[in-house]
Structure 1
Amino acid sequence: MKKDLLMWDETLFRDIEVFETDYIPEQFNFRDSQVRELAINARPGIMGARPLNSICRGLPGTGKTTTIKKLFAQIEEQTKKLIPVYINCQIDNTKFAIFSQIYKRLTKRPPPASGTSFKNLFDMVCKIIKDENLVLLVCLDDANYLLYEKEINKVLYTLLRSHEANEGVRIGIITVISDMTVDLMQEVDQRVSSVFRPSEIYFPPYGTDEIKEILSERVMQGMYPGVISSAMLDLVVEQTMKSGDLRVGIDLLKRSALNAEMDARKEVKKDDICRAYLISKYIHLSQTVKTLSADEKSLLKILCGLTKDKSDMTAGSVFEETKKSMKIGYTRYYEMIKKFDSMRLLNLNYREGKGRTRVITLRYDPDRITDILQ
C-alpha cells in the first residue's frame, strides 16, 4: 500500500461543517458596506424605537443571509431589548406560520397548535412585545416565496400596521429578495407601500478574487494542509464563477474532498473536482425542489416526462396532460407554472401564431430533475 493512502479511519477534514451552506464563518469579508447600512437601519431599535425597514437584493449565493445572521448575532450580544427574528420564507410562507415562528422566538416554546386562530396568535405576540417592552426586527429571507404564494401583502401589512391595533408594538422588517426579476415595491399594494418605505441594499455577485479568498479561508479552516493545491483551488474558483453562486464552490470543495477520501487519497485531483461539479452545479435546483408542495412536485414530474418525450410543451397541451393524473383547475395549474418560471425552474415564453401561445421549456436536464424529485 502506498504511503500517501488514507487509513480507513482517517479524514481530509478538520471540520466538515465549514462546508455546509448554512455555516456562518468567523471571518466574513467583502460585505462591510451592506453590514454597515443594515446596522444603521437597526440602530433605532436598540434605542427603543422602530427600526428602519430594508430590502436586501441580490442573486443567490451573494452573502445576503450570512450578512443578516452575523448582524443578528451582534445585536443579541449587545442588547436584550431588540429581538432579531429570522424567518426562512421557503419553509414558512404564510401569515400564521411566520407569526408562529415569532411566537416561538419570543417564548422559546413550540408554536401554538394549528387549530389556534390567527387573531389569538397575533394578540399573544403583541402582548409579549408590550409587556416586556421589546422591539422586533424581523428578517423575511427569500421573501419572493411569499410573493409566489400570494401572501406578501398579508404578511407585510400585519407586521407594519400591528402598532395600530396594539399601541406600543414596534416592528422593523428586513426583506431578502433573491429573484432579480422581482421589484417588491411594484408588487405590494398601496396600503403596504405607504408605511413600508424601505431602503434598498444591493449585494453584487462576488468577483473572481473575492471568491478565491473566501474559498481559500474555508479550505484553511476546514481541511488539513495539502488537501487542495493552489492549482486545484483555481479550478474550483473557475467552476464557481461559471455558476455565479458561491454556494456551488463551497459544496464543490466538500464533494471533491469526499471523492478523494473514497479513493483513499490525501489530496484532491482534477477528476475529483470534475465529478463533484456534476452534482454541485445543481445546488440551486435541489434546494428549490425541496420547497415545493406535493402537487407542484407532481406537475414538475409531468413536465420532465413531456420534455423527454419531446412533446410540444404549450401551456394548454401540458394542462390537458396534467388533468389525466391530477385533479386540478386551469387557474391553479397556471399559477404553479408561473411560480416555476419565477423560481427559474422553467422558461415561459410566447410563440406568435394564431393568438399568443405560451411555450414551456425546462431550464434543467429532465433526468436530473427527476433524480432530485425521487
Structure 2
Amino acid sequence: MRIRQKTIFDVIEEEGTIFKDKSVFTTEYIPEIYQYRDHQLDSMAFHSRKVKSGYAPYNMLLKGTNATGKTTTLKKYFQLIKEAYSNVFTVYINCKIHRTEYQIFSEVYKTLFHEDIATLNTYNFYNRIMDYLTENKIILILGLDEFDNIKNSIELNRTLYDFLRAYEEYPDVQISVITVSSSKNITATDLNVSTIHLPIEIGFPFYTQQEVYSILKQRVDLGFYPGVISEDLIAYISERAYRLGNLRIGIKKLEHAGDRAEYKGHYKIEKADLM
C-alpha cells in the first residue's frame, strides 16, 4: 500500500507532543510569577504613589543592556497598575516600529479610542487625546520602549514636549512617560524637555547564571510537557545564555529545540536539537 506523502498543510496542522504552551517562549509572554525583578517593580510602584490621589507617577527611565527584563517589567507594571486603578490608562509603544511623533500619537489615539483615523494629523490627535483625558479624569502612563530609536532628536523632543508639557494648555491633564533604553549613550533632550522630564532611573543589571537557569527552568515547566528536556540540557542552555549575556537567546533556543524535536517526531529534546 502506498503511503501518502505529507503536504505542507499536514505538517502545519499536526498536533505536537513537545509543547504544552508555546506562547511561553515568545517575547510577549508575561509570567504570572515574575522572577528577580521585584526590586525594580517595587521601585516603580514607590514612584507611582501619587496615583491614589489622582496624579500621574513620576517619569521613569528603565535602563540596562539587552534582555535584562526591562520590557517585561514595564508590561508587568502596566498590568498590575491597571488592575488596581480604574482611572489609569497605559499605552505601550515599541519605538523601533513607531519612530515619529505622528506615529506615536496615532498609536496612543488608536489604543484610547479603538479606532484608526488616517485623515487626522498630530494636532488633531493631540487635542482629542487631551480632551478625553481631562473630561474623564484619566491618568495616562505612556511607555516608550527603546525610545532611542525615535527617528531623530527633533522627533524625540517634540514627542516628549507635547506629552510632558500638555498641562500648560490642559491644566488638569495627568501624563507620565516611562522610557526604556538599552543604549549606553542616551539621546540628549533639549532644555525645554529636560527641565520637565527628569526621569527616575531604574537600573536592570544582567542576571546571574543561577537566575538565568531558574528563569529558563520556569519557562520549561510552563511551556513543555514533563520529561521533554533534561536538567543537564537546561543547565547547558543556561550557561550559554549567561556567557553571551542574553537571556532571550536561551528562551529562543528552547523553543527552536522543541520545534526540531517535534519535526523529527521525537518525544524528548536531545542535545543535537540545540545546534
- The answer to whether the 8 A contact 1:99-1:122 is kept is yes
| 2:250 pairs with 1:245 | no
Instruction: Determine the C-alpha separation between the residues in 2 that align with 1:34 and 1:156.
Output: 23
Instruction: Name stretches of at least 5 consecutive residues in structure 1 with no aligned partner.
Output: 1-7, 275-374
Aligned pair partner of 1:57 in 38, 52, 63? 63
Q: 1:150, CA displacement in angstroms? A: 4.5
Instruction: Determine the C-alpha separation between the residues in 2 that align with 1:243 and 1:223.
Output: 24
User: Pairwise mapping of residues 304-343 of structure 1 onto structure 2 (< 5 A)?
Assistant: none
Change (3 A) 1:87 1:231: same
| Structure 1 counterpart of 2:157 | 153
Give the count of matched residue pairs. 262
| Structure 2 counterpart of 1:291 | none
Q: 1:128, CA displacement in angstroms? A: 0.1
| Structure 1 counterpart of 2:7 | none
Tell me, what secondary structure is at the counterpart of 2:93? Answer: strand
Tell me, what secondary structure is at the counterpart of 1:39? Answer: helix
Instruction: Determine the C-alpha separation between the residues in 2 that align with 1:94 and 1:130.
Output: 25
| Structure 1 counterpart of 2:137 | 133
Instruction: Determine the C-alpha separation between the residues in 2 that align with 1:85 and 1:9.
Output: 36
User: Pairwise mapping of residues 99-114 of structure 1 onto structure 2 (< 5 A)?
Assistant: 99-107=105-113, 109-113=114-118
The two structures, once aligned, show a CA RMSD in angstroms of 1.5
- The answer to whether the 8 A contact 1:59-1:178 is kept is yes
Instruction: Determine the C-alpha separation between the residues in 2 that align with 1:220 and 1:128.
Output: 44
Query: After TM superposition, which residue ranges in structure 1, 4 or more long, deviate above 2 angstroms?
Result: 147-150
Q: Letter of the aligned partner of 2:55 in structure 1? A: A
Higher-Rg member (1/2): 1
Instruction: Determine the C-alpha separation between the residues in 2 that align with 1:149 and 1:20.
Output: 31
Instruction: Name stretches of at least 5 consecutive residues in structure 2 with no aligned partner.
Output: 1-13
- Of structures 1 and 2, the one with the larger relative CO (CA 8 A, separation 6+) is 2
Q: Letter of the aligned partner of 2:185 in structure 1? A: V
| 2:50 pairs with 1:44 | yes
| 2:103 pairs with 1:117 | no
Aligned pair partner of 2:173 in 160, 169, 178? 169
Instruction: Determine the C-alpha separation between the residues in 2 that align with 1:228 and 1:149.
Output: 47
Instruction: Determine the C-alpha separation between the residues in 1 that align with 2:39 and 2:57.
Output: 18
- The answer to whether the 8 A contact 1:14-1:223 is kept is yes
| Structure 2 counterpart of 1:235 | 236
| Structure 1 counterpart of 2:95 | 89
Change (3 A) 1:93 1:10: closer
- The answer to whether the 8 A contact 1:21-1:251 is kept is no
Q: Letter of the aligned partner of 1:259 in structure 2? A: R
* Identity level (%): 35
